[in-house]
Amino acid sequence: MVLLLIVVIAGLWYWWSYQKNLVDTKRKPFLWRSGFWLILALAIYLVVTGRMHWLGAGIAALVPILRTLFIWGTRAGPLLRLLGRFKSTPSQFRTRFLVVTLNFASGKIDGEIIAGDYSGKLLSELNSGELKELSQNYKTTDKESFILLQAYLMRSGSSNSQEYDQYKPEGNNDLSKDDAYQVLGLPPTATKDEVIKAHKRLMQRLHPDRGGSDYLAAKINAAKDQLLK
């Protein structure tokens, strides 16, 4: 018993000397770790001697761990919010016959046919012959749908035709606010600052000089103008 007491006193003396020599930034974490091991050792002792149920020891051991997780969660919060700002929300471009969605996070582009031939189907589900038929149909019935389809084909690598360049998109200034938010990939609660940032980000990715198209760039500019009125 005396030997155990000597060991405990020597351990406490060594612990005290060690923590006194630590700088302030390291002392606090060391004290918390020491407290954790002390609580755990005490809980194990009480369980072994039958003075505490094993479940109580587990709960006692979890208290410091939960505190550590809480501290790390608090520190990670600002980082997660910062990363959230860089999250890419899909942009949608809508015409009379098509809704094309461009997802920058995955790099995928696809479109849904919302009226006319093949209504309800995705563009990715159509073969080259069906896409060509659709293109010829839109070319005579709806100029903007034709342009959007060609932009989809160019972006997806299905075509390298520049034929649509001779067609100038019409009605961009008549975008509704809902459509404008969808083009920029923003919620209706977006602030003017968020609109400007989204416009800049999309123009960097879809500018004609960077593999985009005049049509998509015009849509993006029109969306910004609509929301900044």
CB-CB contact of 55 with 178 (8 Å): no
Return the pLDDT at 79: 45
**Quick check: 99 and 92 in contact, CB under 8 A?**
yes
Domain boundaries, the chain: 2-85, 91-227
> Quick one: CATH architecture of 91-227?
Orthogonal Bundle (1.10)
| CA atoms of 185 and 60, how far apart (whole Å) | 48
Q: Which of 162, 160, 175 is nearest to 219 (CA)?
A: 175
**pTM of this prediction exceeds 0.75:** no
pLDDT in tens, the chain (229 residues): 567 567 667 777 776 777 677 666 667 676 767 766 676 666 666 656 666 555 555 555 555 565 555 555 545 555 444 444 444 578 889 989 999 998 876 778 899 999 998 999 999 999 989 999 999 999 889 888 888 898 888 877 766 555 554 445 554 456 889 999 999 988 899 899 999 998 988 888 776 666 667 888 888 889 999 999 8
